[in-house]
Structure 1
Amino acid sequence: MTARHGDVHVRPAPDASMTLLNEVYRRPLDPGYAAAAERRRDGTAPPRTRRGTVSLVLLALALGAGTTTAALSLRAPSTSVSAARALLERQIESGNAEVAALEDEVTALGEEIRVLQERALGQVDPEVAEEIAAGQVAAGVVPVTGPGLRLVLTDAPTDPTAEEDPDSRVQDKDLQVVVNGLWAAGAEAIQINGERLTSTSAIRSAGPAVLVDLTALASPYVVEAIGDTVVMQPELARGSAGQYLSTLRGTYGIGVEMSSQSEMTLEGSGQVTLRSARVPEEARPGRPQTPAPTTPASTSDEVEEGASDAAGVAGSARRSGREGT
Structure 2
Amino acid sequence: MTDRARAHPRTAPATGRRPVDASMTLINEVMRRPLDPGYQEAADRRRAAGNPPLRMTTRAWLAVLAFGLGVVTVTAALDLRAPEPAVAEARELLQDQIAERATVADRFQDELEATQQQVSELQTAAIGGQDPELLARLAADGVAAGAVAVSGPGLRVTVQDSDAVVQRPDRASLDERVQDVDLQIVVNGLWAAGAEAVAINGHRLTAVTAVRSAGSAILVDLIPLSGPYVVDAIGDPNQLATRFARTSAGQHLALLRNTYGISSQIATEDSLELAGSSGTRLWSATAPGEAIPDDVASSGPTDGGDGP
TM-score (norm 1): 0.62
- Measured after TM superposition, the shift of residue 75 of structure 1 is 5.6
Contact 1:110–1:271 (Cα < 8 Å) also in 2: no
The letter of the residue matching 2:210 is A
Show the 5 A alignment for 1:247-286: 247-270=255-278, 272-274=280-282
Q: What is aligned with 2:241?
A: 233
Residue 152 in 1 paired to residue 158 in 2?
Answer: yes
- Measured after TM superposition, the shift of residue 24 of structure 1 is 2.7
- Measured after TM superposition, the shift of residue 188 of structure 1 is 0.6
Residue 166 in 1 paired to residue 174 in 2?
Answer: yes
Q: What is aligned with 2:202?
A: 194
* Selected match of 2:145 from 139, 142, 145: 139
- Measured after TM superposition, the shift of residue 257 of structure 1 is 0.6
- Measured after TM superposition, the shift of residue 87 of structure 1 is 3.7
Per-residue Cα deviation, 1:153-197 (whole angstroms, up to 9, x for no partner): 111121628842211111111111111111111111111111111
* Selected match of 2:225 from 213, 217, 224: 217
Q: What is aligned with 1:179?
A: 187
Change (3 A) 1:248 1:122: same
Show the 5 A alignment for 1:60-139: 76-139=82-145
Change (3 A) 1:155 1:80: closer
Q: Distance in 2 between matches of 1:153 and 1:78?
A: 43
SS in 2 for 1:113: helix
- Measured after TM superposition, the shift of residue 228 of structure 1 is 0.8
Q: Distance in 2 between matches of 1:103 and 1:144?
A: 18
* Selected match of 1:242 from 223, 247, 250: 250
Per-residue Cα deviation, 1:194-229 (whole angstroms, up to 9, x for no partner): 111112111122221111111111221111111012
User: Could you say which structure has the greater relative contact order, defined with CA pairs below 8 angstroms and 6 or more residues apart?
Assistant: 1
The letter of the residue matching 1:96 is A
Contact 2:238–2:268 (Cα < 8 Å) also in 1: no
Per-residue Cα deviation, 1:66-115 (whole angstroms, up to 9, x for no partner): 99987776565444444434443443343333323322332232222222
The letter of the residue matching 2:115 is L
Contact 1:194–1:267 (Cα < 8 Å) also in 2: yes
Per-residue Cα deviation, 1:16-65 (whole angstroms, up to 9, x for no partner): xx98762235659xx9984756xxxxxxxxxxxxxxxxxxxxxxxx9999
Q: Distance in 2 between matches of 1:19 and 1:169?
A: 56
SS in 2 for 1:222: strand
Q: Distance in 2 between matches of 1:35 and 1:136?
A: 94
The letter of the residue matching 2:134 is V
The letter of the residue matching 2:158 is V
The letter of the residue matching 1:221 is Y
SS in 2 for 1:104: helix
Q: Distance in 2 between matches of 1:143 and 1:256?
A: 26
Contact 2:153–2:234 (Cα < 8 Å) also in 1: yes
The letter of the residue matching 1:140 is G
* Selected match of 1:24 from 43, 58, 78: 43
Aligned residues: 244
Q: Distance in 2 between matches of 1:80 and 1:227?
A: 56
Q: Which moved more, 1:94-103 or 1:242-251?
A: 94-103
SS in 2 for 1:152: strand
- Measured after TM superposition, the shift of residue 251 of structure 1 is 1.9
Structure 1 unaligned blocks of 5 or more: 1-17, 38-61, 278-282, 287-325
Which 4+ stretches in 1 moved above 6 angstroms? 62-72, 283-286
Q: Distance in 1 between matches of 2:169 and 2:273?
A: 41
Q: Distance in 2 between matches of 1:68 and 1:167?
A: 42
SS in 1 for 2:124: helix
Q: Which moved more, 1:67-76 or 1:133-142?
A: 67-76
Q: Which moved more, 1:123-132 or 1:102-111?
A: 102-111
